[in-house]
Amino acid sequence: MKTTIAQVPKYEGQTVTIGAWLANKRSSGKIAFLQLRDGTGFMQGVVVKNDVSEDDFGLAKNMTQETSMYITGTIVEDKRSPFGYEMQVKQIEVIHEAVDYPITPKEHGTEFLMDHRHLWLRSKRQHAVMKIRNEIIRATYQFFNQNGYVKIDPPILTGSSAEGTTELFHTKYFDEEAYLSQSGQLYLEAAAMAFGKVFSFGPTFRAEKSKTRRHLIEFWMIEPEMAFVDHDESLEIQEQYVSFVVQAVLANCQLELAVLERDTTKLKAIKAPFPRISYDDAIELLKKKGFTDIEWGEDFGAPHETAIAESFTKPVFITNYPKDIKAFYMKPDPNREDVVLCADLIAPEGYGEIIGGSQRIDDLALMEQRYKEHNLTGEAYQWYLELRKYGSVPHSGFGLGLERTVAWLSGVEHVRETIPFPRLLNRLYP
Ligand code: 4AD
Ligand code: MG
C-alpha cells in the first residue's frame, strides 16, 4: 500500500510504502535511524540489521542526506516522538542518490541559507512555517466564504496607485506607463458596489527601500471591502477574522507550532474583542514610556509600535490617525477634521502592523478635493471618482499582510522566512 507520512496514523500495524527523502540519519552497529520526510511530514524509519537484506542494511547505513527512495515497512506507535509513529523498515529502493547536499544539519549563516532557499524550504522549520502560512490562507477563505464574501481578483498591472506614488514599480505597458499593484483596494471598492462584501488575496509590490525584518518588496495581502459597513463595524470584522485565523492555526498546526517551539499560551488568548487606543492616546502613552522625540502628527516607527503593543496582550487597534500621514481615500472623522476614520492593527510580541484599514470617503465633492490635494488628476483615476457619482454608500475595508501574520503566529523573527521565495531589497535570487 503506497501512502504518505500524513496518512500513516491510519495504518498502524500495517505494512506501507512511502516515497521519501532522507532528512537526517544516525546509526550504530546493528541499527540505523532514518529521519524521513515526504513533503506531508517527518517520520523516523528504524532499520534493524536482522530485519532487512544485507544490501538494504548497507544502503541505510551509508545513505546520504536528501537521497530519494521508496521505503517499505510496518507502522508502529512511537510515544517518544511528537508525531507518534515510526516505521520498522523492511525494504528500501533508492530512486536517486543525492551527493554533497549543501545544507547539512550543522548551523549555516543566513545569507548562505537564503542563497539556497530552493533547498532550505525542505528543512523542518521552513516546512512548518509554510504549513502555517497555508493554514492561514485556508482559514481566510473559510472565514470570508462562510460570511458571504465574494472573492474578487483585482489586476496586478495597474494605471493608478492606491498608497502613494513613491514606492511604485514602474513597467512598460506597450506605449503606456503601468505599475505593479501596491494594493487592490481601489478596484475592490468598485467590486463592493457590485457584490456588497468582497475580498481579494494576491501579491502586492512596494519598491520600499526599507531593510527591516518586517518589509518585503513583494508580499501577499488579504483585502476585504464591505459596502454599508462603517469604521466601527469594520473593526469588529477585523477582530473576528484575526481571532478565527489564530484559533484555526492553533487547532490545525499543533505539530508545526511544536517544531517552531512557539509559545502557544500567548496565542490561545487571541480572541475578539481587541483593545482600541486612539492615535492621540498612543502619543501620550509613548511619552509616558519615555519616547520624548515623538510629536503629534508624526507616523509611528517599529520601536513605537512595539512599545504600544507591549501594553496589551492581544493585538491592539490604533485608531484615528492624523489625516496628513494617511492615504487620500480615508474618510475624515465627522467630529474632527484633522483625523481620519482608520485603524492599524498592531500584533503583540513586537510583530508590528498586520492590518491597515479605514472607512473610505463616499462624498464626491470631498473626494475631488482630495484628488487636487494629492495631484491625482488624469484619466487613470476617473473611474474611481465615478464610484461616488452613482449610488455612493458608506463603505470600509482593510488589508492584512500575510507574511507579517505568518511571522507572528510562527514566532519567526524575520519575514524572509514566511514566504517561499522572498523578494528583498538586495535579493532576487533564487
Ligand atoms: O497599511 P497598508 O499599506 O494598507 C493598504 O495597502 C490598504 N490599501 C489596504 C486596504 O485597506 N485594502 O498595507 C496593509 C498591510 C500592512 O498592515 C502590513 O501588514 C502589510 O500590508 N505590508 C507589508 N508587509 C510586508 N512587507 C511590506 N513592505 C509591507 N507593506 C505593507
Ligand atoms: Mg499601513
Average pLDDT over the chain reads 97
Residue 106: its pLDDT value, please?
87
> In the chain, pLDDT over 70 holds for what percent of residues?
100
How far apart CA 43 and CA 25 sit, in angstroms, is: 12
Nearest CA residue ID for atom 23, ligand 1: 401
For the chain, which domains are there? 2-96 (2.40.50.140), 117-417 (3.30.930.10)
Is the confidence at residue 37, as pLDDT, over 80?
A: yes
What is the complex's ipTM, to 2 decimals? 1.00
Mutation to probe ligand 1, out of 144, 167, 353, 360 (largest number of atoms < 8 A from CB): 353
Is the confidence at residue 376, as pLDDT, over 90?
A: no
Closest ligand, as measured to the CA of 185: 1
Q: Which atom of ligand 1 is nearest to the CA of 400?
A: 15
Give residues (CB < 6 A) around ligand 1.
162-163, 183, 185, 206, 208, 215-216, 219, 221, 223, 353-357, 397-399, 401, 403-404, 415
Find the 386 Cα to ligand 1 centroid distance in Å. 25
Closest ligand, as measured to the CA of 401: 1
Is the confidence at residue 74, as pLDDT, over 80?
A: yes
Q: For residue 379, name the pLDDT band (cuts at 50, 70, 90).
A: confident
Closest ligand, as measured to the CA of 354: 1
Ion ligand 2 contact residues with beta carbon within 5 A: 356
Find the 190 Cα to ligand 1 centroid distance in Å. 19
Is the confidence at residue 265, as pLDDT, over 80?
A: yes
Cell 536482522 sits on residue: 50
Q: Which atom of ligand 1 is nearest to the CA of 358?
A: 11
Mutation to probe ligand 1, out of 404, 405, 409, 425 (largest number of atoms < 8 A from CB): 404
In 3D space, the residue among 89, 220, 163 whose CA is nearest the CA of residue 358 turns out to be 163
Mutation to probe ligand 1, out of 144, 205, 221 (largest number of atoms < 8 A from CB): 221
Find the 77 Cα to ligand 1 centroid distance in Å. 45
Q: Which atom of ligand 1 is nearest to the CA of 397?
A: 11
Nearest CA residue ID for atom 28, ligand 1: 215
Closest ligand, as measured to the CA of 222: 1
pLDDT in tens, 305-352: 999 999 999 999 999 999 999 999 999 999 999 999 999 999 999 999
Q: Which atom of ligand 1 is nearest to the CA of 405?
A: 19
pLDDT in tens, 350-374: 999 999 999 999 999 999 999 999 9
Q: Which atom of ligand 1 is nearest to the CA of 210?
A: 28
List CB contacts of 221: < 8 A, sequence separation 6 or more: 183, 184, 200, 201, 202, 203, 204, 399, 400, 401, 402
What is the mean predicted confidence (pLDDT) over 256-274?
98
pLDDT in tens, 180-232: 999 999 999 999 999 999 999 999 999 999 889 999 999 999 999 999 999 99
Is the confidence at residue 286, as pLDDT, over 90?
A: yes
Nearest CA residue ID for atom 20, ligand 1: 401
